[in-house]
Structure 1
Amino acid sequence: MRRQQGMRLDERYISYLQMAGLYHLARLNERWFRLDEPLVSAFVERWCSETHTFHMPFGECTITLQDVAYQLGLPIDGRYVSGCLIDFQTYIEGGRPAWVWFEELLGVLPPANCIQKFAMNYSWFQETFGELPDRADEPVVRRYARAYIMMLLGTQLFADKFGNRIHIRWLPYVARLEDMGGYSWG
């Protein structure tokens, strides 16, 4: 898991994050969460990739799904989260192209030079949705909350190996914010 960078948690997003079951995860950034790098290094040294366990002085131990759920505050009961990308160009719901749906949900389309297949550059995403306008009405707050949740999913939970892109595979989830709390995010 990576820490969220660049997009500020606005208090107007909190109700949407709580509805989605991701509020605790959103709070794990530099303001509330400090990474203890020596501790992480100690754990890395004790990791055994063959058995997927930590070799501690008192014996072997591993991280369970319940540990992750407790630490990140993620729901682990419910419908599974799938990042299936088969025929994603045309999303099943209404048969419209995925980027058209992106524009409907978030109110803007990334420029062509910021798109790589089904992902957009994080820098463009951050510049566009980094700061919610002060006098934003409820539809704008909802759009920015969707963008914030996509950022959480695309950079903290399911980051790509470079950490500089956000995939649009999360559109089906942020399209129905009311249903997000019913998924197993662990």
Structure 2
Amino acid sequence: MRLDERYVPYLQMARLYHLARMNDKWFRLDEPLVSAFVERWRPETHTFHMPFEECTITLQDVAYQLGLPVNRHYVSGFLTDFHVYIQGAQPAWQWFQELLGVLPPANQIQKFVVNCTWFQETFGECPEGADEETVRRFTSRLEDMGGYSWGSAALAWLYRCICRVANRHVVKLAGPLQLLQSWIFWRFPGFRPAGYDAFSWLLASRWSGYNPSVSEKGPRVQMTRLRIDMLQARDVSMLTSYV
């Protein structure tokens, strides 16, 4: 997704601009590698059971890899001030107007929700040459987003996705798996791709441009399993500071 430069000042105020720039420094998922590690995951303990001991990805890892805050307001779908936003089983239009500067037509309202298609059609892309007032509709309260513990939310979502994939009836990987892959590269140096030796911040940006082979996935999974089986404690990087 292209980063609109007009949003940058608000992302900077939210202290999330560095994460948005990860779009320019991302890397492709190594599915055989991640799949082999996920097989070691135990949902009951949220840990990888390795040959030497258990290990897991922590909030500290999330903070270092993605630079996400971990000690601010928690991210939750629970509204403590529900009455402010819903009145008479419909959205309270006063705050809606103040927040977005525009109201949805009646045919886009379903009881107390507004159709997602309307949001996509209305706010999918900021028009070229838009004035500041229009841009604010697309960035409304974005500067407040830095006050939440996105690192905790990302880690919880990753745990949930890995637990789901650990079920033998689920075959598709999902979730923030680049975070998991970057953690594997950092904690298990033997699995790092060659030629990515420069330190950078965010730490996950070190693997910028990494593009693993998409062929022979089956044999590569088997080979990775064997390599994991042979891991010992000395093969793990226990660094808690990467500078």
- Identify the TM-score tier after normalising by the shorter chain: 0.5 to 0.7
CA contact under 8 A between 1:24 and 1:74: conserved in structure 2? Answer: no
Shift of 1:85: 2.0
Shift of 1:32: 3.3
Partner of 2:41: 47
1:34–1:120 distance in 2 versus 1, CA, 3 Å: farther
Residue identity matched to 1:71: Q
Point out where structure 1 has 5 or more consecutive residues left out of the alignment.
Answer: 1-6, 147-173
- RMSD of aligned C-alpha atoms? 3.2
Indicate whether 1:130 and 2:95 are aligned.
Answer: no
Partner of 1:184: 149
CA deviation vs aligned residue, 1:99-139 (integer Å, no higher than 9, x gap): 43123211223345545566544443222212111111112
Indicate whether 1:38 and 2:32 are aligned.
Answer: yes
Which of 79, 102, 105 matches 1:108? 102
Q: Larger radius of gyration, structure 1 or 2?
A: 2
Greater share of strand residues, 1 or 2?
1
Tell which deviates more after alignment, 67-76 or 119-128: 119-128
Partner of 1:18: 12
- State the distance in 1 between where 2:108 and 2:40 align: 40
Paired residues, what number?
A: 148
CA contact under 8 A between 1:21 and 1:75: conserved in structure 2? Answer: no
1:103–1:42 distance in 2 versus 1, CA, 3 Å: farther
Point out where structure 2 has 5 or more consecutive residues left out of the alignment.
Answer: 152-243
1:91–1:114 distance in 2 versus 1, CA, 3 Å: closer
CA deviation vs aligned residue, 1:84-109 (integer Å, no higher than 9, x gap): 224514249xxxx5443123211223
Which of 43, 58, 62 matches 1:64? 58
CA contact under 8 A between 2:71 and 2:149: conserved in structure 1? Answer: yes
Shift of 1:8: 3.7
1:136–1:119 distance in 2 versus 1, CA, 3 Å: same
Shift of 1:80: 3.8
CA deviation vs aligned residue, 1:19-64 (integer Å, no higher than 9, x gap): 1122233345587343333333233222110111112344321121
TM-score normalized by the length of structure 1: 0.62
